[in-house]
Every structure is written in C-alpha cells, then in structure tokens.
Amino acid sequence: MADKYDVIVIGAGPAGYVAAIRCAQLGLKTACVDDFTDSDGKPSPGGTCLNVGCIPSKALLDSSKHFEQVRDHYGDHGIKVKNPEIDVGAMIARKAKIVKQLTGGVSQLFKANKVELVAGRGRLLKDNQVEVGPVPKGSKKTLKAKHVVLAPGSVPMALKGVDFDDKHIVANAGALDFDAVPKRLGVIGAGVIGLELGSVWRRLGAEVILLEALEDFLAAADTDIARAAHKEFKKQGLDIRLGAMVNKAQLKSSRVKVSYSDKEGDHELTVDNLLVAVGRKPATDNLLAEGTAVELDEHGRIQVDDECRTGAERVWAVGDAVRGPMLAHKGSEEGIAVAHRIAGKYGHVNLDTVPWVIYTEPEIAWVGRTEKELKDAGVEYRAGKFPFAANGRALAMNEPAGLVKVLAEKERDRILGVHICGANASELISECVVAMEFGGSSEDLASIIHAHPTLSEAVHEAALAVDKRAIHRAN
C-alpha cells in the first residue's frame, strides 16, 4: 500500500525544499523526493543552486576576487605583496566545504520540521501518486498524497555539434571543479553563467574567450547598464565576441577545437577547456506518467495558472520548470506561496518585482522594466542616472565603475525599473524592489535619508536625477 502524506514535493532545490519546509510548518505531513547526491553518494538536498550553481560559483568568485585584489590592486592601497600564488586545490576544497555545510543544513532543517527526505527520482503518476525511482540500495516505491508540488528544477542546455565529456568540454558543474587554471578557456554564451565562471578563471590567470550568438551584449539588461558592464569587462581582459555562432567543437589531443561563424566569416578557436553556457531548460523529462492531466508547453515547461496550479487537481508546480525567470529566489517565493494556498491561506508572488543579479565585477542587478521595453510599449517615463565615480564610498573602496539608473512613470512618478552596474549591486537593488513592491515613486526614494558615505547614496542621487535635482553631479 502506498505511503500517504498531505503533501509530496518532487525536487529539493530552492523552490522544492522551501515549499516542503513551509508545508510542514503549517502542520501538513510532508515528504520531499530528490535524487541529488554528493561525492560520497549520500543525499544532498539543495538542488543545482546549492550543489553546482549559485553557492559554489559565488564561493569561487569570492576566492578569485581576493586573489586578483592581492595581485593587481593592493598596491593602490600601499600594500606590497610579492608574487602571490593560487592553490586551486585549496580553493576548490573551500568551495566544497561551503556546499556541504549548506546542503547539510537543509537536511537538518528537514529533520527539525519533520519533513521526510526520500532519496530517488520522483515521477508523477495518476491520482496524486508519486513513483520514486530506484536508488543504490533499493527499488522503486510508490507514495501518495492529497497534494503534489512539482519542483524538478532545470538542467543545462546542450548545443548541437558540441558533446560534453565532463573534463575538457563541460557545463557549469565541470567549470566549478577544474583542478588547475586553464591556459585558455573558451565559453559559449556570454550570459550569467558564462560571465561569472569566465570571470573566476580570468582572475586566476586564464585567457578567456566568450562566444555569444547575439549581436547585443546582455540583451536582457538595460542598454546603459550593458554598455557600462561591457566596457569594464573588456578592460579586465575578457575577450567577448558577439554574433558568434558556434557550429562544432571537437576534442583533439587534449585540446578543444571550436568552429564558429560571425559576420566576417568562419573561424576556428583552440582552447584547453570549453564551458557550454547557452542556457538551461526545465528538468521535466520523464517527470510525468501518462494520464496525469499535467501539461507541458513547447519548451518543456509545466503549464500553470497565476497561482501555480497545474491542469491536474491538487497538483502544483513551482521554480525553474514553470513560467517566469529561472531564479532561485523566485522559485522559493513560489514554494512558500503554494504551501500557503494548500493550507488555505493567502499566497503572494509578484513576478514584476523579481530582482536579477549577475555576480561579476562590477556586479549587475536590476528590477522592473528596461528603457527599451518602456519605449516599445509606448509608456511615457522619466529617467535619472548617477555614476559611482561621483560616489565617495565607491572611490574609497577603489570601485568607481558603473552607475545607477532609475526609471519612473512620467505622470504619476511610480518606479518602473531600477538598473545598477557597480559594487554591491546585488545588495543595493533590494531597497528598489521594496519601493516597487509598495508602489513607490522616485520621489519616495529621493526623500529617504541615506547614510553617508555609502554606496546606497548613488541610488538616492539617481532618484533625485529623475527630477533633475541630483546634488553631486550636473543635471
């Protein structure tokens, strides 16, 4: 007889494990099915984010930033360090320790909240039954629940003509575990993953070439922000080639030969390692059995309504596998909202105020609409900009690159978007998200006292600039 629960969550990534914990906190008997394992073959909840994504990449970004600061910038502060060296093994071990600490923390949270972690690959059957695939020391079993929450996450997209070998040609997970700094690293895709991991290995001494199929750099970001970021990345030595369509990549004599085309013709590039970072797709393969009434769209995404309900009664879906941005924090909020709805409470997710962040140097962050999107939609707006080069704290930190840009509705002054390229942009964007969530205006941001000297004063000044009354730059 199938085990019975109030809720079964398939997937223990940021959307799934958060949904499971909140369901349990609301008094629901909850199980979470997940097949992620660590290097020892033990369950490792946390999904891509904690295991091979957000967290390990930030650990390496931090380590590589420290190394670059010692090597290239400490002299600006009068600190002299001769011939610093990087111990790649120690850096990778530090990253692994952080991952283990956090995935272990999720396991402890499950225990504390009485969530049952079930190891194996979950598959939805009819009548809200969940089949758990075979594990190393067991066989398939079937669980049953009143409600099922699908949170399978996403996987890296492959590229035709480019086959992974998990050593020389890799996805994000492989680029987190190089045992030495590549002399020459090729990256297909100049998006979030490509820029972040490309930055890690460039700082450590690799020559990094990014091949981006689009003609525009960071097309999803505001044009002013993308332009400022591109300028800084070029200064740093990232070789970003736009309009570059990769045709094939082959491993030859432990090196990778990449063939690509652009408007100037056909080219070949030889690198030691190749990172394929062309995006991610929903991990919905073999997730649904016949007759579940849950439908997928042409991109493999689970179709849901505004409340994350699928076409099947009491089956929900959240995170990377549904509409909206593939971001951990968006998935987590959906997980909490669904838990509340299952328990008969109000659940809220506003997809219009989801912040985006790229953890490069400088960082890039934004919320809301870009200037181009407003123009294309015929929305009348006003814009205010302020450069970090005019911010005292940024200069004191030796990080004057970038700017803040605030976009506000012309008549009502409601904030429509905020875009930041600069130091700590990932933190600075939060007050802008709060302001937008509460329907705030640029005048609201301009009227709030910001501590001095702080980077947040750049947000304050950009809001003032919307009304052409910035103090520390000419309007």
Residues catalogued as catalytic: 452
- Phi, psi of 446, rounded to the nearest 5 degrees: -70, -25
- Phi, psi of 78, rounded to the nearest 5 degrees: 85, 15
Check if the beta carbon of residue 123 is closer than 8 Å to that of residue 84.
Answer: no
The alpha carbon of residue 118 and the mean position of all alpha carbons in its chain are separated, in whole angstroms, by: 26
Report helix, strand or coil for 457: helix
Closest CA to 433 of 422, 446, 419: 419
HSE (side-chain half, CA atoms, 13 Å) at 37 = 11
* Number of CB atoms found within 10 A of residue 293's CB: 12
Closest CA to 153 of 333, 338, 11, 334: 11
Region for 237 from its dihedrals, namely left if φ exceeds 0, alpha if ψ lies in -120 to 50, beta otherwise: left
The alpha carbon of residue 84 and the mean position of all alpha carbons in its chain are separated, in whole angstroms, by: 31
Q: Helices 88-112 and 54-68: crossing angle, nearest 10°?
A: 150
Contacts of 333 (CB under 8 A, 6+ apart): 349
- Phi, psi of 142, rounded to the nearest 5 degrees: -120, 130
Write the DSSP symbol of residue 472.
S
- Rounded to a whole number of angstroms, the CA Rg of the chain reads 24
The alpha carbon of residue 250 and the mean position of all alpha carbons in its chain are separated, in whole angstroms, by: 29
